[in-house]
């Protein structure tokens, strides 16, 4: 990342995070919410500029790196092998996450740690739902440009894979296209490096307004619900990612979490998996993941793998049920595991998306969607943690699949 700096970039991002948090706490104390408006008017715009730059680079990065990855694999079957391993890892870890969340939330509920909030007069209108079939149809683009312009990630992934396949099948005629893709891949990686150098300032400007605005709510009535979700996030990350990267990824857990620190801090301050994607790619490659694998596994994960979101949905479902005086049966819990796994796949990697998908989980067990209003006010604080878990899960998968693929190749 920054070879010329004596201290690693992770250190400066950490300092940025601290400065942002301290400044946010300072602004929070100013009278009449004036600190919040200062943060929003003068600091947030710089955070937005940084996030915009990351979002701008993410589509070309995904497009060229996946296409280059497929071309370098020289084998369409290998894409299938990586894809299958990735999907199995993603689905198993997400299902585990939601089971863990339900266990933790049920314990918290039976210890009477959740507040009994009033449910009368709540309002929340969920946006128009999409059926599962619509979601599947939506993966396939009907236009080559629109998905790139709208950053519709799954469609961009499909385009990149086809582009790679086309180059491979074209043989000699495809050589120029292959070189062009490889060259653009290199160029956009360099642009990404430049943008990532701005991250200490970017992270500070992203986190400061969030703390100034949401700081007091950490001490709200919902503190213990937040705490339950955060315990779920931490236990899941330590248990599942440490074990899988240690046993299958060939990387020690300590090295994994240290190497992932920049991406995790970025996810925490931006609450956007897609915005964090460029960081995640750098971090996993430094940890030893192969580029062709990482460039396929990570963008896919940023769109469909959301373990943190699943944990949040499990905890909130139990909490909302308890406010409505409903006890969830074992059957309800199984339904929640299934729907939350699907809901987290359908969640976009942008701030707040997980809360919208919570409606689907609540509906599946007959809970009123207005219950979302109980947790909506502090969604950002849930979101910072769940996004951090989401991207860490993607990275763990990239290391595991990369290591398994290397072993498969050496066996051949």
Interface residue list for ligand ASP (CB under 6 A): 271-273, 306, 309, 347, 349-354, 383, 386-387, 390
Alpha-carbon distance of 102 to 92, in angstroms, equals 16
**Closest by alpha carbon to 409, among 293, 296, 243?**
293
Minimum separation from the CB atom of position 358 to ligand ASP (A): 9
Compare residues 273 and 295 and give the one whose CB is closer to ligand ASP. 273
Compare residues 322 and 387 and give the one whose CB is closer to ligand ASP. 387
Minimum separation from the CB atom of position 272 to ligand ASP (A): 5
CB-nearest residue to ligand ASP: 354
**Closest by alpha carbon to 161, among 323, 286, 292?**
292
Compare residues 280 and 403 and give the one whose CB is closer to ligand ASP. 280
Alpha-carbon distance of 331 to 344, in angstroms, equals 20
Minimum separation from the CB atom of position 375 to ligand ASP (A): 12
Number of H helices, E strands in the chain: 19, 0
Compare residues 79 and 381 and give the one whose CB is closer to ligand ASP. 381
Compare residues 108 and 306 and give the one whose CB is closer to ligand ASP. 306
Compare residues 168 and 306 and give the one whose CB is closer to ligand ASP. 306
Chain center to CA of 346 = 12
Alpha-carbon distance of 57 to 61, in angstroms, equals 6
Structure token digits, residue 123: 């309002």
Minimum separation from the CB atom of position 68 to ligand ASP (A): 25
- 310 close to 344: Cβ distance less than 8 angstroms: yes
Dihedrals φ, ψ of 221, to 5°? -60, -20
Compare residues 135 and 329 and give the one whose CB is closer to ligand ASP. 135
Q: What are 283-286's contacts with CB under 8 Å, separation 24+? A: 283/259, 283/395, 284/259, 284/260, 284/395, 284/398, 284/399, 284/402, 286/1, 286/259
Minimum separation from the CB atom of position 184 to ligand ASP (A): 26
Torsion of CA 250, 253, 255, 259, to 10 degrees: 100
Minimum separation from the CB atom of position 273 to ligand ASP (A): 3
- 185 close to 65: Cβ distance less than 8 angstroms: yes
Compare residues 67 and 277 and give the one whose CB is closer to ligand ASP. 277
SS3 (DSSP) at 112:
coil
**Closest by alpha carbon to 274, among 351, 197, 191?**
351
Compare residues 167 and 226 and give the one whose CB is closer to ligand ASP. 226
């Amino acid at each position: 990342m920054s070879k010329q700096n004596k201290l690693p970039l992770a250190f400066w991002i950490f300092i940025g995070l601290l400065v942002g948090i301290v400044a946010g706490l300072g602004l929070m104390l100013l009278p009449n919410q004036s600190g919040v408006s200062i943060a929003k008017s003068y600091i947030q715009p710089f955070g937005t500029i940084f996030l915009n730059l990351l979002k701008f680079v993410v589509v070309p990065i995904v497009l060229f790196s996946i296409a280059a990855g497929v071309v370098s694999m020289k084998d369409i079957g290998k894409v299938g092998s990586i894809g299958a391993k990735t999907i199995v890892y993603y689905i198993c870890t997400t299902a585990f996450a939601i089971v863990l969340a339900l266990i933790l939330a049920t314990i918290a509920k039976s210890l009477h740690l959740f507040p009994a909030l009033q449910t009368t007069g709540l309002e929340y209108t969920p946006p128009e739902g999409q059926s599962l079939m619509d979601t599947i149809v939506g993966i396939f683009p009907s236009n080559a440009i629109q998905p790139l312009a709208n950053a519709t990630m799954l469609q961009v992934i499909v385009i990149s894979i086809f582009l790679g396949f086309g180059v491979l099948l074209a043989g000699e005629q495809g050589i120029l296209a292959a070189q062009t893709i490889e060259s653009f891949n290199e160029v956009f990686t360099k642009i990404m490096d430049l943008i990532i150098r701005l991250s200490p300032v970017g992270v500070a400007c992203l986190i400061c307004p969030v703390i100034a605005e949401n700081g007091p709510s950490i001490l709200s009535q919902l503190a213990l619900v937040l705490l339950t979700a955060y315990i779920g996030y931490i236990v899941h990350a330590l248990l599942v990612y440490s074990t899988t990267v240690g046993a299958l990824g060939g990387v020690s857990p300590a090295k994994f979490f240290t190497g992932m620190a920049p991406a995790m801090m970025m996810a925490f301050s931006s609450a956007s998996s897609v915005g964090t994607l460029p960081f995640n790619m750098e971090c996993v490659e430094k940890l030893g993941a192969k580029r062709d694998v990482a460039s396929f596994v990570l963008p896919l994960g940023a769109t469909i793998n959301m373990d943190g979101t699943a944990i949040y949905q499990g905890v909130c479902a139990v909490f909302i049920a308890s406010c409505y005086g409903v006890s969830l049966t074992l059957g309800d819990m199984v339904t929640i595991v299934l729907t939350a796994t699907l809901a987290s796949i359908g969640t976009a990697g942008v701030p707040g998306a997980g809360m919208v998908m919570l409606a689907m989980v609540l509906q599946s067990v007959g809970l009123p969607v207005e219950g979302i209003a109980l947790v909506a006010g502090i969604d950002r604080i849930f979101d910072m943690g769940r996004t951090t878990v989401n991207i860490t899960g993607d990275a763990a998968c990239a290391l595991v699949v990369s290591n398994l693929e290397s072993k498969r190749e050496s066996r051949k």
